[in-house]
Amino acid sequence: MINTIKINEKEFEMRPNTRRKRISVGIDSTGIYYIAYPSQFTHKMLNNALKNETHMNKIIARIEKNFLQTEKHSYKEGETFLFSGFPYTLKYKKDDSIHPLELIGNSFFLSKNAIPLAYDLFEKWYARSLYAELNKILPYWTKTIGVQPLRINVKNVKTMWGSCSCKNNITFSTRLALVPPELLEYVVVHELCHLKEMNHSQEFWAKVAEYLPDYKIRRNTLKKNASLYRW
C-alpha cells in the first residue's frame, strides 16, 4: 500500500502485518522510524489515524526518548570503547599531554583533567576518524553506483545511521566510527542508493542487493548490535 510516509520531516517505513490489530509507532534498533499497522487497513483509515499532528509529535518525542535510554559510559579506567568494530580499553594519562584523547595500541588514553569533557572528546575523535574512513571508501562506491552526493556530513545523530536529503546531501551518524567496516560499507551503499531511489521500495532494496548481495545479513547484524555502538 504505502512504503514510506513523512511526518514532521521524518520518514517512517510502513509495515503492514496480518496479525496486528492496532497501529504501533516506533524506532527499530537500526534507527529506522516505522509505523506497523493491520494489513487490512485502507489508505483512508491510515490517514485518519495519523492526521493528528500534535498527537503524532508527542508519540515521536516519546519513542525517541525511549530509544536513547541506554546505559552510558562513566569514563572510568578499564571501560571498553569500540572503534571500527574492535574493543579498546580506556586508560588515564598525565594531564600535560597535548592531545587529551589518543588511541595508542590497544587503548584509548584520556587525560585525567579532561574526564568531564570525555563525551565531547570521544565525539570529535570518532567524527574525525569516520570522515577519514569515508574519504577512503566513498570514491569507489560513488563511481560503482554512478552517483555523486552534493555534500557529505558527519553528525552525532542517535536515532538513525544515515540520511539522504532531496538536495542530494548525505549525513552519516558519528556512531558509524564504532561499527565494523562491513557494516559501515552497508550504510554507505544504502544511502548512496537513495540518490537513485528516495524511498524504501522494492526497487530500492533491489538496487542495494545489486551491489551488496548479502545486505540483509549486514543489516540484521547492525540491527542486532546497535545498542553496543555508544560512547
Residues in the chain: 231
Residue pLDDT, tens place only, 37-73:
888 888 888 888 888 777 788 888 877 776 665 557 8
Query: What share of the chain has pLDDT > 70, as a percent?
Result: 94
Q: How far apart are CA 125 and CA 174, in angstroms?
A: 10
Q: How far apart are CA 71 and CA 80, in angstroms?
A: 13
Q: Which helix (H) or strand (E) holds 81?
A: strand 80-83
Torsion of CA 205, 206, 208, 213, to 10 degrees: 120
Contacts of range 129-132, beta carbons closer than 8 Å, 24 or more positions apart: 129/83, 129/84, 129/177, 130/154, 130/172, 130/174, 130/176, 130/177
CATH number of 117-228: 3.30.2010.10
- In the structure grid, which three cell numbers stand for residue 21, read together? 490489530
For residue 1, pLDDT over 60 is answered with no
Provide the pLDDT confidence category of residue 29 given band limits of 50, 70 and 90.
Answer: low
Q: How far apart are CA 188 and CA 134, in angstroms?
A: 8
Q: How far apart are CA 180 and CA 182, in angstroms?
A: 6
Among 8-12, 130-134, 170-174, 176-180, where is mean pLDDT lowest? 8-12
Residue pLDDT, tens place only, 67-124:
665 557 889 999 999 999 999 999 999 876 789 999 999 999 999 999 999 999 999 9
Domain ranges of the chain: 4-68, 117-228
Q: How far apart are CA 87 and CA 71, in angstroms?
A: 17
Instruction: Show the CA angle centred on residue 201, arms to residues 216 and 52, nearest 5°.
Output: 115
User: pLDDT value at position 95?
Assistant: 74
- More confident call, 107 vs 7: 107
pTM beyond 0.95: no
Q: How far apart are CA 163 and CA 126, in angstroms?
A: 18
For residue 181, pLDDT over 80 is answered with yes
Average pLDDT, the chain: 89
- 13-46: b or e for each residue (b if 16 or more CB lie within 10 Å)? bbbeeeeeeeeebbbeebbbbbbbbeeebeeeeb
